Amino acid sequence: RVFSDGFISGDAVECSINLQLVGEACFTNPLIVAVTEWASANGDEMTPTVFLSIETDELRHMANGYQTVVSIANDEAASKYLNTDLNNAFWTQQKYFTPVLGMMFEYGSHFKVEPWVKTWNRWVYEDWGGIWIGRLGKYGVESPRSLRDAKKDAYWAHHDLFLIAYALWPTGFFRLSLPTPEEAEWYEANYPGWYDMYGKVYDEWRARGCEDPNSGFLPLQWFIENNHPIYIDRVSQVPFCPSYCKGESTLRVLEYNGKKHSFSDQWGERMWLS
């Protein structure tokens, strides 16, 4: 189950849980409310206007998800799958949204506003996982069991992903920039331990000439030299490096029909097995 797959495939209730209850009720707030702040801090006056208008429409979509749950609450045949579907939907969406949005905001903007982990905690953990899902408690809905692992990802997964993304850029069709010394200071202040894990690696890459193709050094070499293989999670398709990460990724490899499949977490593995 990759990000957005569950929006359009599955039964009607499962799609509504994926798109409206999780995608829209849980993740449009940290995406859209935050993007207006990041954009205006970086000199873009158009995006905040457009996206605040879009978010008012998202409220309507959230209500559809709420009503879907209410409408099946008394149907035992449907409601017995509700919490498993919700957990799968939450993990599927968070596996992509949590690292990618955090990476785009923090590493894609020169002027920083609120750290992603704070935005995430307010909207995903407290507002959605606590208040929104809490109000559905009377219909038998529980906060997803994977929320705890997602909380760890909210702190570190976008830093893990940027390390891999930066290492890959010379092989792709995009160019990324290393954090400046001022940015590195901001990361360390907001994510204590950032420098020891990521900052010192960027310093090494910079010293070896990664910003100049003539140096002949590709950051990807660093992963190979240090025996840190990069895998792609079979379910979410998000790349991960299990031996060099601080997020919730751990390696598991399953063999099926003579082929090996790698997974980064128990939640994706469970979905693949079922």
- Give the residues lining the site for Fe ion (CB under 5 A): 24, 58, 61
Report DSSP letters for 27-81, one per residue: HHIIIIIHHHHHHHHTT--HHHHHHHHHHHHHHHHHHHHHHHHHHHTT-HHHHTT
Query: CB 24 → Fe ion: shortest distance, Å?
Result: 5
Q: How far apart are the C-alpha atoms of 3 and 1, rounded to whole Å?
A: 7
> Looking at beta carbons only, is 23 or 247 nearer to Fe ion?
23
Cβ atoms 86, 22 nearer than 8 A: yes
Q: Could you tell me which residues come within 8 angstroms of residue 159 by beta carbon, excluding any fewer than 6 positions away? A: 187, 191, 194, 197, 198, 246, 247
> Looking at beta carbons only, is 56 or 214 nearer to Fe ion?
56
> Looking at beta carbons only, is 28 or 146 nearer to Fe ion?
28
Q: How far apart are the C-alpha atoms of 30 and 34, rounded to whole Å?
A: 5
Query: CB 113 → Fe ion: shortest distance, Å?
Result: 24
Please report which helix (H) or strand (E) contains residue 117, including its range: helix 116-120
> Looking at beta carbons only, is 28 or 236 nearer to Fe ion?
28
Q: Token digits for 168?
A: 């890959």
Q: Classify residue 136 by its DSSP letter.
A: T
Q: How far apart are the C-alpha atoms of 221 and 180, rounded to whole Å?
A: 22
Give 253's strand partners: 262
Query: CB 195 → Fe ion: shortest distance, Å?
Result: 39
Rounded to a whole number of angstroms, the distance between the first and last alpha carbons of the chain is: 11
> Looking at beta carbons only, is 58 or 149 nearer to Fe ion?
58
Query: CB 244 → Fe ion: shortest distance, Å?
Result: 36
> Looking at beta carbons only, is 14 or 24 nearer to Fe ion?
24
Q: How far apart are the C-alpha atoms of 64 and 234, rounded to whole Å?
A: 31
Query: CB 10 → Fe ion: shortest distance, Å?
Result: 18
Query: CB 201 → Fe ion: shortest distance, Å?
Result: 38
Query: CB 58 → Fe ion: shortest distance, Å?
Result: 5
> Looking at beta carbons only, is 32 or 164 nearer to Fe ion?
32
Q: How far apart are the C-alpha atoms of 230 and 204, rounded to whole Å?
A: 19
Give 233's strand partners: none
CA atoms within a 13 Å half-sphere pointing along the CA-CB vector of 189: 10
Q: Which residue is nearest to Fe ion (CB)?
A: 61
